[in-house]
Structure formats: structure tokens, C-alpha cells
A and B are shown apart, each in its own frame.
Chain A
Amino acid sequence: MTAITATQAPSRTSRFAKNRARELTGKTGWTVLGWVVGIAFFLPVLWMVITAFKPESAAETWPPQFVFKPTLAQFRLVFSGMGPFLEHSAIATVGSTILVLLLAIPAAYALAIRPVKHWRDGLFFFISTKMLPIVAAIGPLYVIALKTHLLDSIWVLIILYAAMNLPLAIWMVRSFMLEVPTEMLEAARLDGAGRIREMSEVIMPVIVPGIVSTALICVIFAWNELFLAINLTVTNAATMPMFLISSVPQEGLYIAHLSAAATIASVPVIIVGWIAQRSLVRGLSMGAIK
């Protein structure tokens, strides 16, 4: 029996066009739906940004204006007023995140690589602190802060934000550490690497992207935090969320100004979130879902 050679080209792809067309119509349907839903969800954010460019006279109108003369006046106002708030937010966020990483990385090591005997209990302890409502202790927290002269100081925020993010960071970093191939660790041990060497030369290089995503998630939560800030700070450590609240005066037009302030306040985290998109799920599920 001889091999049958290929037949003419046209019949080889006679249905190709039909198949592609069918795929395309299916795709188009989902594309339309997807974009409609996407825009619907994004609309309030879009509206916030648009309103930020309006002069106040054009912001509180009926019907709402879509065509207007854009101005940067609101942004200028926001920039002139937000200085200290921005500074406090930055210090509290960066400071608490650094503190969190310094505590979480060794802890994750002790719960993942060379585990402590009761590592399960340890993990559960950390996650239980996350479940307890901080709101319940706000009165005494205020008193403690007052007595230790930490009230309205940036330190109280750094300390509390770190405590708030620590369980999350430990679970997340732990899940990254568990991904380091066992063979790599065993090879390092055979080569005589001690704990420090193992950590710095084997583990850290592998998990650096994971550390970065963990840091970004902590930044998101610290930056956005309002409850502790509003209760424990007044002026010396007031953060961006407080700035937003102060943009709502008792009287007068303020919507455009508020929108500008909201935009500036939200943009850093939105950008961070877009970048860390892939690890957002891992962070939010405490490392349970990759």
C-alpha cells in the first residue's frame, strides 16, 4: 500500500474561512458584553476624574455637564493643601510596610522552610488576629496612645498599620517561600550553606517578585486606611483619607475640588494595583490561591 500524497490546496482549507467566521461572531458577542460591563464598573471612577477637571460652576449642574472647559484649578488647590497629608500618608505607608517585611520574612521562613513544631498553630494565631475587629478596641487604643504620648504621632499609625498587615504578609510570603524548589534548598545544604546563606542566596533571589507583590498589597491597605487614622490623629499625623474628609466644607461648592482630591488620593493605589494585578488574588486570599 502506497502513501497517499496531499491533494490540492483549495480543499485543504475549504472550511477554514467558515470556521474562523463562526469563532469571530462568538467572540464579538462577548466583546460587546465585556466592554459594557467593564465601562459600567469603571464609570464612577471615570466620572470622578472628569469632574476633577471642572470648574465648580460646571460641577453641580443639572443635567450633569459632559462638555465644559477643563481647568487645572482644582488640582492646583488640592496640591496646595495636601502637602502635609501626603507626607504623613507616605511615611506611614512606607514605614509600616518596611516594618512588616522585616518581621514577616523571618516569620514566614520559620513557618515554611525550617518549620517550627507548631507551625499550624502559629499560622492560625496570625490569621485570628486579622479576624478580630479592631473597632472593638478603639476606645482603649485611644487611651493607650494618649498615655504613651503617641497620639497624633505618625508612629502610632506605623505601629498599628504594621500589625494590621502582618498576618497578610506572613501568609503571602510563606506561600512564595513554599514555591522555592526543594531540590534547590537541598543542593544548598549539601554545599554547606547555613541558615543565613540559605536565606540570602537561595530563597531571597527566588522570592523577590513575591516580596514586591506583598509590599504592594500592604501599601494598598495602609494607604487607604481610614478608621484608625480618623480616631487617633488630628493634625500632626493626618493622612490622605483625612485630607479627603476635610475637602468637604460645611458650605459652599466643593464637588469639583473633592473630585480632584479623590483622584489624587486614589491614583497611586490604582496604579500600584494595576501593576500588582496578578498577585492581587494571592494577597487577598492570604496566599491560599495562586
Chain B
Amino acid sequence: MAAVNYVAASRVYAKGAPPAVDALDLDIKDGEFMVLVGPSGSGKTTALRMLAGLEPLDGGRIEIAGRDVSDVQPKDRDIAMVFQNYALYPSKTVAENMGFALKMQHVHKDERDRRVREAARLLDLDDKLLDRKPKALSGGQRQRVAMGRAIVREPQVFLMDEPLSNLDAKLRVQTRSQIAELQRRLGITTVYVTHDQVEAMTMGHRVAVLADGKLQQCASPRELYDNPVNQFVAGFIGSPAMNLQTATLTDGGARLGGTVIPLAPGIRTAAARDKLSELVIGIRPEHMHLADAAARSADGFGGSGTDGAELTGEVLLVEELGADALLHVRLADGGGSVVTRTEGRKAPVPGQQVRFRVQPADVFAFHPVTGARLAG
């Protein structure tokens, strides 16, 4: 059983300074692939290093397999770590790099070699590479050696600190799936840090979003996408990012770009309760459907509830993605700019006036000050 628990774990660098990690409560199940994601400075790397034992805990505690390891040395925690810059031992060969930890544990040479070879096979590392030094390897090979060094140890927990960030784009996508598959095969609890939300969404069983040292939300990728708990998570997860605009509240909805968007009753009640006059509307680019130019509603109210609201605007820029196209649209009536996603072949051109529909169910609303999601 190698579950990991952060219990109100904190890290403060100087007395009185804002904490780098602020009372983090996170429960990671045995065998789970947990991704810690967030912008730089969010505390995700610090939280990982606290688990590794490379940063001391200034408050709370951390448990591995039910045991409090807060004061335990890194080497006694039975963890293995893959560093961002790989941190391979420059004076040692690949085989020696991978077998180093076992050597420190006084494992017999034959056993060491066996395990090293096995890990190399698992990672598609050619036997010829085993006798080379790190400086004679490519970036991708070094990355695999770093992973091999961790795998050989057969630890209770894998820690990975942005292991893909130094690879070129294509290699990154390839290695991403290899890591996810490897973890599934080995079944070892993994804590993975990244700033790239695409990595987080595709790899993690659950994703913990951090900002300013605090945990924002911890849930499955699908849950994060469908039910973000605050504005930060909503805007962070999903690519391209959710459109967030301030809109004034009116009867029945919120006014944005000259149109009133109908809001669910639950949102309206929550807004009224907090006596809000305006709120932040969030709509994902993929939920803004380009309306046919011919279809036009009679009333300027944006159509009936089932059809959703209709927004108009002028296209500023078209970004071709191949299958899709992203439109940067300036909304009418000073509504700000939004990004919408549309099918590649039918994309309009810059300067063109467009209309698109939005379903009320796809509209998120957030408190303008706290950022908390307003819902029923």
C-alpha cells in the first residue's frame, strides 16, 4: 500500500512571507497517477520536493503508506525521482547511473546488472548505450536514462518534476504516452509535476490544480473540464482557454456584447444572494457554435431558451489548425474579444461579421471578486 497523504503541509521561506505551499491537503491513492499542475510559482514543484524530502516541512505532515515521513531522510522514504534537467551523474556510465542507488544499498553486482538491463529493455534503451557517459547521449536518451534510474529502484512512489519540458514538441508527445503506459504497467503511485495542462489532462488519473501555494481543485480531468470549481481552474484547464468576460446582470441573464445571455436559475439565485451587479461569464471556445449567416432571430433577445443566446462580432484573426480553426472575434457593443473554435473548412475571413450561438448549459458564471463558481 503506497498511498501518499499531504496533511496541511506547508512551506514558508521566511517568517511572515507568504507560504510557498499553503496547508496542502491532498490524498493520493495507491497506484494512482496524480498530476500537480499550475503556473510557475504555484508551489507544485515545492510540494513535490517536500514529498521527496529535499525541502523541509514547516507545518503539517506528509505520509507515505500511512507512515509519517515528515522528518525522514530522502533515502529512507523509498521514493525515486526524475529531475527536470535529468541530473544524471556526469562521471558515470549509463549503467552506473541506473545502478547507483542499488550500489548504495549494497545490492550484489549481478543483481544490479540484471535490474539495470531489465529497466533498459523496458525503456527501449539500446545495450550499446549502457557504457556511454551522459554527455554522449541525446536529450531523449538522457530522459530515458533518468527514468530508468528511477524504475530500477522499484520504489513505492515515483516523483517526476517536469520531465518532458526539455524535449522538443514531437518527442514530448511521444514520450508522454510512453510514460502513461509505463505507469499503468508498473502500477506504482506516481506524483507528476507539470505546468502544461495538456500533459496533465492526458496523463493523470486525477489532477490537482495549484495556484499561489494553495490547492484549487483536485479531480479527474473530465470533472475539471466539466465542473471547474473556480475561475482559475476554468481558465487554466482546456486549450484554447475558456473565454472569461465581465458581464452586467440584467433580468433573466447577463449582458455581454450587446446580447443578453440567459443564465440558469441557480446562478441567478446565487448572484442575488451575494447582491452582485455583475459577474464573470465563462464560455469555452468549442461551445460557441458559428451560426449560419442566413438564420437570423426575429427578436433581439437572442432566441428561445433551447436555441441559446446569439452573439455577434467581427473576426480579427483566423488561426488555422488544420482540422479546426480558431477565430479571434471582437464582440459587438464593446463586449471584448473572444476566441471561438470552428470547423476548418468553413472558416470565415478576417473582417467578416459573424454570429454564433451559445447554450445556457455551457455558460459558466463566477463571482467577480472571489472567482468562485456560482451555481445552484
Instruction: Write the residues of chain A forming the contact surface with B, with a CB cutoff of 8 angstroms.
Output: 1-7, 11-16, 19
Interface of B is mostly: strand
Contacts A1-B229, A3-B215, A3-B216; is A13 near B22 (CB within 8 Å)? no
CA distance A35 to B23 in the complex (A): 40
Question: Are A7 and B23 neighbours in the complex by a CB distance under 8 Å?
Answer: yes
| The one of B59, B216, B223, B229 that contacts A12, using a Cβ cutoff of 8 Å | B59
Question: Are A1 and B223 neighbours in the complex by a CB distance under 8 Å?
Answer: yes
* Chain A residues closer than 8 Å to B229, beta-carbon distance: 1-3
| The one of A3, A4, A7, A12 that contacts B12, using a Cβ cutoff of 8 Å | A12
Question: Are B215 and A4 neighbours in the complex by a CB distance under 8 Å?
Answer: yes
CA distance A11 to B25 in the complex (A): 13
| The one of A1, A3, A4, A13 that contacts B59, using a Cβ cutoff of 8 Å | A13
* Chain A residues closer than 8 Å to B12, beta-carbon distance: 12-13, 16
CA distance A11 to B57 in the complex (A): 11
* Chain A residues closer than 8 Å to B5, beta-carbon distance: none
| The one of A1, A2, A7 that contacts B8, using a Cβ cutoff of 8 Å | A7
Q: Within B30-57, which residues are at the interface with A (CB < 8 Å)?
A: 56-57
Contacts A12-B59, A16-B15; is A4 near B10 (CB within 8 Å)? no
| The one of A1, A2, A3, A19 that contacts B56, using a Cβ cutoff of 8 Å | A19
Let me know if B98 is at the binding interface, CB within 8 A: no
- Sample 26 A-B pairs with CB under 8 A, ordered by A number: A1-B218, A1-B229, A2-B229, A3-B229, A4-B25, A4-B215, A7-B8, A11-B23, A11-B60, A12-B10, A12-B12, A12-B19, A12-B23, A12-B58, A12-B59, A13-B12, A13-B15, A14-B58, A14-B59, A15-B57, A15-B70, A16-B12, A16-B15, A16-B58, A19-B57, A19-B58
| The one of A4, A5, A7, A15 that contacts B58, using a Cβ cutoff of 8 Å | A15
Let me know if B219 is at the binding interface, CB within 8 A: yes
* Chain A residues closer than 8 Å to B219, beta-carbon distance: 1
CA distance A2 to B372 in the complex (A): 10
* Chain B residues closer than 8 Å to A3, beta-carbon distance: 214-217, 229-230
CA distance A4 to B26 in the complex (A): 10
**What 17 new A-B contacts, CB under 8 Å, besides A14-B59, A15-B70?**
A1-B219, A2-B217, A3-B215, A4-B25, A4-B215, A7-B23, A11-B23, A12-B8, A12-B19, A12-B22, A13-B10, A13-B59, A14-B58, A15-B56, A15-B57, A15-B58, A19-B57
CA distance A16 to B19 in the complex (A): 11
Report the tally of A-B residue pairs with Cβ distances under 8 A: 55
Interface of A is mostly: loop
Question: Are A6 and B214 neighbours in the complex by a CB distance under 8 Å?
Answer: yes
* Chain A residues closer than 8 Å to B19, beta-carbon distance: 12
- Which of the four size classes fits the interface of chain B? 20 to 34
* Chain A residues closer than 8 Å to B10, beta-carbon distance: 11-13
CA distance A2 to B56 in the complex (A): 28
* Chain A residues closer than 8 Å to B223, beta-carbon distance: 1
| The one of A1, A12, A14 that contacts B217, using a Cβ cutoff of 8 Å | A1
CA distance A11 to B58 in the complex (A): 9
Q: Which of B56, B216, B230 has the most CB of A within 10 A?
A: B56
CA distance A85 to B22 in the complex (A): 68
Q: What 0/1 pattern do residues 199 to 214 of B give for CB contact below 8 A with A? A: 0000000000000001
CA distance A153 to B216 in the complex (A): 81
CA distance A14 to B19 in the complex (A): 13
* Chain A residues closer than 8 Å to B215, beta-carbon distance: 3-4
Q: Which 7 A-B pairs have the closest CB atoms?
A: A12-B59, A16-B58, A12-B10, A19-B56, A7-B23, A6-B23, A4-B25
* Chain B residues closer than 8 Å to A11, beta-carbon distance: 8, 10, 23, 59-60
Q: What 0/1 pattern do residues 58 to 95 of B give for CB contact below 8 A with A? A: 11100000000010000000000000000000000000
CA distance A4 to B230 in the complex (A): 12
**Closest Cβ neighbor of B224 among chain A residues:** A1
* Chain B residues closer than 8 Å to A19, beta-carbon distance: 56-58
Determine how close the nearest CB of chain B comes to the CB of A17; give it in whole angstroms: 9
Determine how close the nearest CB of chain B comes to the CB of A16; give it in whole angstroms: 4
Q: Within B208-240, which residues are at the interface with A (CB < 8 Å)?
A: 214-219, 223, 229-230
